[in-house]
Amino acid sequence: MATVKVYDQNKQECGELTLSADVFEVEARPEILNLVVRAQMAAKRAGTHMAKTRAFVSGGGVKPWKQKGTGRARSGSNRSPVWRGGAIVFGPQPRDYSFKVNSKVRALAMKMALSSRLAAENLLVVKGIELPEAKTKHFAKVAGTLGLNKALIVTAEESEVLTRSARNIPGITLTTPDRLSVLEILRHKQLVLLEGAVAPVQARFEK
């Protein structure tokens, strides 16, 4: 099991915490991380794109000219795909891009993502963040003290004060253990766990 230092919001060491090896010491496999990230990104796609086929292009109700005797190629509609202003052949249609990934694979990918941050020494455990009021300047000061640049901060539960204070700081994202995702962890270089969020994260993914 890995033992990490616990800091307060002033970056002063205030204890140690032992992390579960089942969650934070899993060897990363790029193919599994890639699969889960692709699934999460695909699920976010709206899939509402659409090009008009002949059924949806207006006009074209009259045959442009008679079938024979004009010397020109035969044509049945001026909205044919071969005409300018006509329909699109095999254009994109509304679809669902999501695909299924087994829950065990998703859980394994989450462990790998968490482990990668610990292995790269980009995981920081903070005892707590207390702000006098919901002001960006207060959170920015704490983030500067902790050396946070592009960080995902996991809190035990939603805090309106922290959310409102951090939402205008570029690169900083707040989440909770139940909303933690592989995509968000890998998007952020640093992972910050508030001490109260460590147990719920481990309980969610421990064997």
Q: Which domain holds residue 72?
A: 48-94
Shared domain for 62 and 135, answered yes or no, is: no
Q: What is the pLDDT along the chain (207 residues), one digit of tens a residue?
A: 789 999 999 999 989 999 999 999 999 999 999 999 999 999 999 999 999 999 899 988 899 999 999 999 999 999 999 999 899 999 999 999 999 999 999 999 999 999 999 999 999 999 999 999 999 999 999 999 999 989 999 999 999 999 999 999 999 999 999 999 999 999 999 999 999 999 999 998 876
Shared domain for 89 and 189, answered yes or no, is: no
Confidence (pTM): 0.84
Shared domain for 40 and 62, answered yes or no, is: no
User: Could you say which of 71, 94, 117 is where a domain stops?
Assistant: 94
Cα–Cα distance, 125 to 110 (Å, whole number): 18
Shared domain for 114 and 83, answered yes or no, is: no
Shared domain for 53 and 107, answered yes or no, is: no
Q: What's the maximum distance between 2 C-alpha atoms anywhere in the chain?
A: 94
User: Could you say which of 29, 64, 94 is where a domain stops?
Assistant: 94
Shared domain for 89 and 106, answered yes or no, is: no
User: How many domains would you assign to the chain?
Assistant: 2
Shared domain for 87 and 104, answered yes or no, is: no
- Asked whether 21 and 118 are in contact (CB, 8 A), the reply is no
With b for 16 or more beta-carbon neighbours within 10 A and e for fewer, the 167-199 pattern comes to: eeeeebebbebeebbbbbbbebebbbbbbebbe
Shared domain for 89 and 171, answered yes or no, is: no
By residue count, the chain amounts to 207
